Each structure stands twice: as structure tokens, then as C-alpha cells.
């Protein structure tokens, strides 16, 4: 394992284990969670959720009006079809916020542990994973009901194909759950904990990365392993599926492209800096954000394109938004939390709260 800078989120992982043992709660700083829909960018970072104009990064609204130092946001906000922003906090609160006004629709504090992952919003309901090992179903007023309980904390957002919910857990298992909550279709144990969502291909394969330093393809219907490949270090962020490729990055900064069907390694690329956000594959280009602040682009054949450096640490996944690529920044040189680049790497705007 290469010696890298100490990562905030690795510290958080160790901290969460320690705190769960001693019953103490400490609120760490968070990393930016970004969601872009239409001409609006939604950002969750530290004590606030923001709505920003996509074209220039101007602030539309901020929630709450004043900082509550007891709550910290980690996940990317989720926008529902009926205009709700859904997000939980580290201090066990879960909010529905009006996407247009930034005003609270409802809040629940009925769950005693913290929310790290984004929820899954479907026509059947809201499914929110919690660090207390439980996936909750929330009704229209936010009342949580246990839907499924794993053997360890849930830090990864579930995904669905419309019929089944797929859930990766820190207990080393991937679960396939019926949408009605009445059955577990299958359980697939792997060699390490998982803190990021699986990627689901149109052909019905799930792709996951683990702390067992591996990328694994699973048949979504039966739970059988289709292929597995080792990586040089932990895979924190989930792999992405793009045009027959599975693209994954590990905490040594290695990037891998696998054939989605066979698992054959097609190419590798070394960024020489830890990667904890998923790669972004967008319109034939792969964007990589590294802990050192360097941004790399590759084509789907692994050929290197442009490289830029952003002053700060890039711990989360790049987000495509219109003609822009958005990067969440921790410890930005001038307090910036988002840097927006165009597809050629030119800075268009920054947002500093």
C-alpha cells in the first residue's frame, strides 16, 4: 500500500467504529454532496444545504437560515418528482425541504443514529439507509419504518431496477430485497465492507467495489458472482458502468477499466493520488477527481486528456451538469466548496459559502 495523505473519510470510518464502541458522538467536518437537476445545483456541506444557479453559481436559497452546529450533512441531496429535497444529517435528523423555496416540509428525529448515505426515492416510497444497520421506509410525513436490517452500518445508498432494491453494506454483504419488503431475494457475501452504491447495467449486472481491494460483478437476478478482479487498495467509491465498461478507482489512485461482460482488464491509469469519489463518465470522457486536487481526463480507451489542479482536496465524485463538470472541494484555498469547469477544463465559476 502506498503512503498517501491522511484522508478525512478514512478517519471518519475509524472514528465511527470507536464512537460506536464507547457511545460518544463527535461531529466531524463533511465533504460536499452535489446534485444537479435542470438549471439548479443542490449542495449539502457541513451545516447547510444550498440551491445554486447552474449558470453562475449564485445562491438561490440556504437551509437552514442560521447554522446549527449540532448537525452536519454528508450525503448528496435527492430531488423527488414532487419537488422535495431529501437529506439526512450526522446527528440523526432527516429532512424534506421544498426545492423551490428552501423551506422545511417535515423533519423526523425518530431514528437515533446518523444518516451518511443518500436515500432512494421511488414511486413506491423513500428508502433511507442508516448507520444503525437499518434501511428505513419513510412515509409521506417522514415517519420511518424499519424495512430491512443488516449486520453492520449502512453507508451506501441503495439502487433499484424497479422491482428489486440492491443494498451494499459494511457487513461485507450485498442484499437483493423485494420492493414490498416481504422477502430477501438473495444475499451475496464478499471479501470486504462496502460504503458506496453498486452500479447496475442494462444487462442486469451489479458492479461493486469493496474494502477487500476488489471489484466484483454480480448477477442481479440470482446473486451469483460473474467475475471479480483485484485492485491495489480499497475501493471506496462505487464503480461506474459506461458503454460496456466498468470503471473503478482505488485509494492508491489507480483507475481500472474492465470489460463489463468478461471482467477482462482493458487498461489501467495511475493518478498517483488517492481517489475516494466515483469516476464520472460523460459523453465519451472520463473525469477523475483526486485527493491532491488534480483533475484528470481520459478517453474510454484510457488515453490521457487534459489535467487541471484545483486548490484543495477533492474527496467526492465529479458531477455533470449541462455543459459543466462540478467538483466538490474540501479545504479550498479561498473557501470554495464547488469549482465548475467546462468540458475543456476552463474554470467557469466557484461557490464559496
88/112 Cα distance (integer angstroms): 12
Domain-wise residue ranges, the chain: 279-353
169/163 Cα distance (integer angstroms): 20
25/13 Cα distance (integer angstroms): 13
Instruction: Report pLDDT digits (tens) over 290-337.
Output: 999 999 999 999 999 999 999 999 999 999 999 999 999 999 989 999
Strands 59-63, 338-342: pairing kind: unpaired
Instruction: Report pLDDT digits (tens) over 165-223.
Output: 999 999 999 999 999 888 999 999 999 999 999 999 999 999 999 999 999 999 999 99
Phi-psi region at 180: left, alpha or beta (left = phi > 0; alpha = psi -120 to 50): alpha
Phi-psi region at 126: left, alpha or beta (left = phi > 0; alpha = psi -120 to 50): beta
CATH number for the region 279-353 comes to: 2.40.10.480
Instruction: Report pLDDT digits (tens) over 71-114.
Output: 899 899 999 999 999 999 988 999 999 999 999 999 999 999 99
The sheet that has 245-249: what strands, in order across it?
240-242, 245-249, 254-259, 265-270
Check the CA dihedral 37-40-42-43 and report its sign.
positive
- Cβ atoms of 350 and 340 within 8 Å: the answer is yes
**What residues contact 322, with CB distance under 8 A and at least 6 apart?**
36, 39, 54
Give me the pLDDT at residue 5, please. 37
Q: Which of the residue ranges 9-18, 154-163, 262-271, 291-300 would you say has the lowest mean pLDDT?
A: 9-18
Amino acid at each position: 500500500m502506498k503512503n498517501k495523505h491522511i484522508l478525512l473519510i478514512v478517519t471518519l470510518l475509524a472514528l465511527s467504529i470507536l464512537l460506536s464502541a464507547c457511545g460518544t458522538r463527535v461531529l466531524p467536518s463533511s465533504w460536499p454532496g452535489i446534485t444537479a437537476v435542470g438549471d439548479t445545483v443542490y449542495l449539502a456541506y457541513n451545516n447547510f444545504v444550498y440551491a445554486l444557479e447552474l449558470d453562475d453559481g449564485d445562491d438561490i436559497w440556504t437551509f437552514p437560515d442560521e447554522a446549527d452546529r449540532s448537525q452536519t450533512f454528508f450525503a448528496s441531496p435527492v430531488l423527488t418528482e414532487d419537488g422535495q429535497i431529501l437529506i439526512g444529517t450526522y446527528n440523526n435528523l432527516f429532512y424534506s425541504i421544498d426545492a423551490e423555496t428552501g423551506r422545511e416540509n417535515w423533519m423526523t428525529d425518530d431514528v437515533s443514529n446518523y444518516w451518511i448515505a443518500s436515500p432512494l426515492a421511488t414511486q413506491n416510497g423513500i428508502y433511507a439507509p442508516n448507520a444503525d444497520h437499518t434501511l428505513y421506509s419513510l412515509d409521506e410525513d417522514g415517519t420511518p419504518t424499519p424495512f430491512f436490517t443488516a449486520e453492520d452500518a449502512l453507508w451506501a445508498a441503495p439502487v433499484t431496477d424497479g422491482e428489486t432494491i440492491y443494498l451494499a453494506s459494511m457487513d461485507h454483504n450485498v442484499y437483493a430485497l423485494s420492493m414490498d419488503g416481504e422477502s430477501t431475494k438473495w444475499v451475496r457475501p464478499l471479501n470486504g465492507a462496502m460504503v458506496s452504491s453498486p452500479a447496475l447495467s442494462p444487462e442486469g449486472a451489479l458492479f461493486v467495489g469493496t474494502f477487500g481491494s476488489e471489484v466484483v460483478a454480480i448477477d442481479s437476478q440470482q446473486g451469483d458472482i460473474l467475475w471479480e478482479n483485484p485492485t491495489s487498495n480499497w475501493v471506496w467509491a462505487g464503480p461506474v458502468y459506461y458503454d460496456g465498461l466498468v470503471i473503478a478507482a482505488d485509494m492508491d489512485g489507480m483507475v481500472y477499466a474492465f470489460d463489463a461482460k468478461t471482467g477482462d482488464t482493458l487498461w489501467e491509469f495511475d493518478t498517483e493520488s488517492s481517489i475516494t469519489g466515483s469516476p464520472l463518465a460523460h459523453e465519451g470522457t472520463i473525469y477523475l477527481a483526486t485527493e491532491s486536487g488534480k483533475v484528470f481526463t481520459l478517453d474510454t480507451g484510457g488515453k490521457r486528456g487534459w489535467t487541471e489542479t484545483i486548490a484543495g482536496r477533492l474527496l467526492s465524485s465529479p458531477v455533470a451538469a449541462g455543459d459543466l463538470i462540478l467538483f466538490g472541494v474540501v479545504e479550498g484555498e479561498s473557501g470554495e466548496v464547488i469549482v465548475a469547469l467546462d468540458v475543456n477544463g476552463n474554470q467557469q465559476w466557484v461557490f464559496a459559502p
